[in-house]
C-alpha cells in the first residue's frame, strides 16, 4: 500500500514535506477500503476523511493510517516522476509519427486502389468502371486531415497514455510493502 504514495509517509525525512492531491486521494482510498471492510465506523471514517482532506504534510498521514495498515518495514524510496517537458516531448514525437503514418497510409492505400481500378478498367478494354477509389481516398485522407488539424486532441490523448504508462512503470519498480 505504501508504494502508492509519491513519498512514503513512514519516512521521517518526508514528514514535514507537503503532500499533493494524488497522495490525499490514495489516503482517501485506504480510508474508504477500511470503512467498506468494517474496520472503521461511519463517525471514524468521516473524522479521518476530513483530516485527510485538510492534511498538508506526510507526517499528518501516518496517524490516520497507523491502526489500519502495518507501519513497520522498510520505507519506500521517493518516486522519480518524468518531468512535464519530457512527457510533452514524447507526446509530440508520438503524435508526429502517427500523423506522418496516416498520410503515408492514405497515399499508399489510394494508389493501390487506383492501380486495381485501372487494371480492371484496362482488362475490360478501357471501359472505366465506377471510380470507387475516390471513396477509399476520401475516407483515408479524412483520417490524415483529422490527425493534422486536431493536434491538441491527439496530443492530450498521448499525454494521458504516457502518464498512465509512467505511473504503471513506477509502481512496478517499487518494492512491495
**Cα gap 93→98, rounded to integer Å:** 9
- Place 89 in a pLDDT band, splitting at 50, 70 and 90: confident
What average pLDDT does the segment 38-53 reach?
A: 91
- Answer yes or no: is 78 within a domain: no
Same domain, yes or no: 92 and 141 = yes
Same domain, 43 and 103: no
Domain end residue (candidates: 34, 65, 96): 65
**What is the pLDDT averaged over residues 39-62?**
91
The count of domains in the chain is: 2
70 pLDDT tier (thresholds 50, 70, 90): confident
Cα–Cα distance for residue pair 105/147, rounded to 1 Å: 12
Residues 60 and 123 in one domain: no
Same domain? For 100 and 24 the reply is: no
Largest CA-CA distance found in the chain, in angstroms, rounded: 87
Specify if 76 maps to a domain: no
Mean pLDDT of the chain: 84
Confidence grade of residue 101 (pLDDT, cut at 50, 70, 90): very high
Q: What is the pLDDT of residue 103?
A: 95
* Residue 41 domain flag: yes
Asked whether residue 72 is domain-assigned, the answer is no
**Same domain, yes or no: 89 and 153:** yes
Grid coordinates given for 7:
513519498
Q: Which residue has the higher pLDDT, 86 or 19?
A: 19
Residue reference for cell 495498515: 69
Residues 162 and 105 in one domain: yes
Q: 95 near 155, Cβ under 8 Å?
A: yes
pTM beyond 0.75: no
What DSSP element (H or E) covers 141? helix 133-149
Are 96 and 158 in the same domain? Answer: yes
Query: How confident is the model at residue 177, as a pLDDT?
Result: 44
Cβ atoms of residues 115 and 107 within 8 Å: no
Distance CA 8, CA 40 (A): 23
Say whether both 133 and 60 belong to one domain: no
Evaluate whether 136 touches 108 at the Cβ level (below 8 Å): no
Look up the domain containing 48 and give its range: 2-65
H helix runs in 72-174, sequence order: 84-123, 133-149, 151-173
Domain assignment present for residue 71? The answer is no
Residue 47 and residue 120 share a domain: no
Amino acid at each position: 500500500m505504501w508504494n502508492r504514495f509519491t513519498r512514503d509517509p513512514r519516512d521521517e525525512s518526508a514528514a514535514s514535506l507537503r503532500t499533493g492531491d494524488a497522495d490525499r486521494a490514495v489516503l482517501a482510498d485506504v480510508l474508504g477500503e477500511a470503512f467498506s471492510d468494517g474496520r472503521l465506523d461511519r463517525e471514524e471514517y468521516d473524522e479521518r476523511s476530513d483530516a485527510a482532506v485538510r492534511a498538508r504534510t506526510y507526517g499528518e498521514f501516518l496517524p490516520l493510517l497507523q491502526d489500519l495498515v502495518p507501519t513497520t518495514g522498510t520505507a519506500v524510496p521517493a518516486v522519480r516522476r518524468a518531468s512535464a517537458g519530457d512527457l510533452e516531448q514524447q507526446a509530440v514525437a508520438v503524435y508526429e509519427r502517427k500523423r506522418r503514418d496516416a498520410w503515408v497510409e492514405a497515399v499508399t492505400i489510394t494508389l493501390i486502389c487506383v492501380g486495381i481500378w485501372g487494371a480492371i478498367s484496362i482488362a475490360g478494354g478501357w471501359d472505366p468502371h465506377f471510380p470507387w477509389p475516390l471513396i477509399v481516398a476520401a475516407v483515408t485522407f479524412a483520417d490524415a486531415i483529422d490527425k493534422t488539424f486536431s493536434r491538441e486532441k491527439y496530443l492530450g490523448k498521448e499525454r494521458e497514455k504516457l502518464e498512465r504508462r509512467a505511473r504503471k512503470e513506477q509502481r512496478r519498480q517499487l518494492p512491495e510493502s
